Amino acid sequence: MASSRSNQLVVPQATAALQQMKLEAAQELGVQIPQDGYYGNVSTRDAGSLGGYITKKLVQIAEQQLSGGSR
């Protein structure tokens, strides 16, 4: 059977930064992060909101870097 996490990070060192981004997104959106890390009980709407928020932030960061701007 495949592992429970099929997504592999291209840069494993980014794990902490992505976790921090997830926590910040959850706080801003009012979504409760499961303490045990199991997202099976998180509503699809909340999970989608987190993913969308994180994607939006990552795109903003990439656009700033490509334009030579700073944060």
Predicted TM-score (pTM) of this structure: 0.70
Asked if the model's pLDDT at residue 1 lies above 60, the reply is no
d(CA 32, CA 18): 17
Each residue of 16-71: pLDDT tens digit? 888 899 999 999 999 998 888 888 888 999 999 999 999 999 999 999 999 986 55
HSE toward the beta carbon, residue 2, CA cutoff 13 A: 5
Instruction: Give the pLDDT score at 9.
Output: 78
